[in-house]
């Protein structure tokens, strides 16, 4: 999404959450409870609650049938109490957009989410699998009640990727969920700063500074950004800056979880907007 100057006032008026960067961009140990279409928790610059998976529902011996793997769902509801749901299959290919080869045995995971009465999606399915010699995967005999949402997640070179979500439709039992990954680099020189805006606002004896960085990745690799928990390496702040807070701008492409920080994969013109606010004496 292109960032326009007319939207800057809206972007800078966003309230910045009072949390540390360490909490913001350190990959969580689990996924977030989303309130719309579910996603595996992306790395963001805003604090989000860690999701504890909802009790997994009985669905029989759900298995992934391609390659030497199988997964099961641990029942927490008596079989006699669980509703009978049709069975379906999910298949796809793990493709490396950087040109690398995906060999057999690459772990992939199928996640399923149900929406509760409050509108939140809760994880109810977690099936582990592996790719075959062609990078393909298939999960068969999976319960597919109408409205359940599925996606595929995989770690590639320290970065967590997820597919587009797929909602179950009545009468459909075969679903295609491909997943694209990129090779990883730590070279910040690949990134392009498309726009940088700085706003100064005086308030009593301090100056409030708000900076907006619009960044793109025109390369073919995902740029992994390590952080010490209090700064972003390619954003330099004045020595006297205090109270710094980071947040993604509205309309920014999502960051991905990466070992020790976050990652910025390339895309078709997608841009990342990072806002940092701090005070100066």
Number of domain units in the chain: 2
> Contact, 26 vs 229, CB < 8 A?
yes
* Residue 32 belongs to some domain of the structure: no
Q: How far is the C-alpha of 249 from the C-alpha of 213, rounded, in Å?
A: 9
- How high is the pLDDT of residue 43? 58
CATH at residue 74: 2.60.40.1120
CATH at residue 235: 2.60.40
pTM: 0.71
The SS3 of residue 212 is strand
Q: How far is the C-alpha of 181 from the C-alpha of 187, rounded, in Å?
A: 18
* Residue 191 belongs to some domain of the structure: yes
DSSP state, 6?
A: G
* Residue 138 belongs to some domain of the structure: yes
Query: What percent of the chain stands above pLDDT 70?
Result: 70
Q: How confident is the model at residue 127 (pLDDT cuts 50, 70, 90)?
A: very high
> Contact, 237 vs 276, CB < 8 A?
yes
> Of the candidates 129, 151, 181, which is a domain's last residue?
181
The DSSP secondary structure of 23-59, one letter per residue, reads: HHHSPPSS-B--SSS-------SS--PBPPPPPPPP-
> Of the candidates 131, 154, 181, which is a domain's last residue?
181
Structure-block tokens of residue 191: 């990134």
Look at residues 199, 197, 213 and name the one whose alpha carbon lies nearest to residue 249. Answer: 213
| Same domain, residue pair 94 and 168 | yes
> Of the candidates 131, 146, 181, which is a domain's last residue?
181
Average the pLDDT over each of 97-106, 169-178, 179-188, 224-233 and give the range with the smallest value.
224-233
Q: Is 241 exposed, middle or buried (0-12, 13-18, 19+ CB in 10 A)?
A: middle
Range 210-219 average pLDDT: 96
Tell me: the pLDDT tens digits for 128-152? Answer: 999 999 999 999 999 999 999 999 9
The answer to whether residue 192 scores a pLDDT higher than 50 is yes
Mean pLDDT of the chain: 78
Q: How far is the C-alpha of 45 from the C-alpha of 264, rounded, in Å?
A: 13
Tracing tokens 């702040």 back to the chain, one arrives at 237
HEC string of 53-68 equals CCCCCCCCCCEECCCC
Residue 29 Rama label (left phi>0; alpha psi -120 to 50; beta): alpha
| Same domain, residue pair 154 and 227 | no
Structure-block tokens of residue 5: 């100057």
- How high is the pLDDT of residue 227? 86
Look at residues 96, 182, 94, 187 and name the one whose alpha carbon lies nearest to residue 132. Answer: 94
- How high is the pLDDT of residue 83? 63
Look at residues 59, 2, 11, 63 and name the one whose alpha carbon lies nearest to residue 274. Answer: 11
Range 171-180 average pLDDT: 95
| Same domain, residue pair 128 and 152 | yes
- Residue 216 belongs to domain spanning: 5-25+186-280
* Residue 41 belongs to some domain of the structure: no
């Amino acid at each position: 999404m292109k960032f326009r100057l007319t939207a800057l006032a809206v972007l800078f008026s966003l309230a910045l959450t009072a949390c540390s960067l360490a909490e913001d961009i350190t990959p969580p140990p689990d996924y977030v409870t989303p309130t719309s279409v579910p996603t595996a928790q992306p790395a963001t610059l805003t604090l989000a609650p860690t999701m504890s998976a909802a009790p997994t529902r009985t669905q029989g011996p759900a298995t992934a049938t391609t390659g030497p793997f199988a997964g099961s769902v641990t029942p927490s509801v008596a079989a006699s109490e669980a509703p009978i749901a049709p069975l379906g299959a999910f298949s796809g290919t793990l493709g490396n957009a950087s040109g690398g080869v995906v060999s057999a045995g690459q772990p992939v995971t199928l996640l399923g989410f149900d929406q509760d009465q409050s509108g939140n999606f809760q994880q109810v399915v977690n099936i582990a699998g592996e790719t075959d010699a062609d990078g393909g995967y298939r999960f068969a005999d999976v319960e597919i009640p109408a409205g359940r949402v599925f996606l595929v997640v995989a770690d590639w070179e320290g970065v967590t990727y997820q597919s587009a979500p797929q909602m179950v439709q009545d009468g459909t039992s075969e679903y295609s969920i491909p997943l694209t990954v990129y090779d990883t680099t730590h070279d910040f020189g690949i990134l392009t700063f498309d726009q940088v805006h700085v706003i100064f606002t005086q308030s009593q004896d301090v100056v409030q500074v708000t900076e907006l960085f619009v960044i793109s990745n025109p390369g073919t690799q995902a740029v992994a950004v390590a952080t010490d928990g209090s700064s972003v390496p390619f954003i330099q702040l004045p020595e006297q800056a205090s109270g710094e807070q980071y947040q993604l701008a509205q309309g920014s492409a999502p960051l991905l979880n990466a070992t020790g920080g976050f990652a910025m994969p390339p895309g078709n013109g997608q841009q990342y907007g990072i806002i940092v606010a701090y005070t100066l004496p």
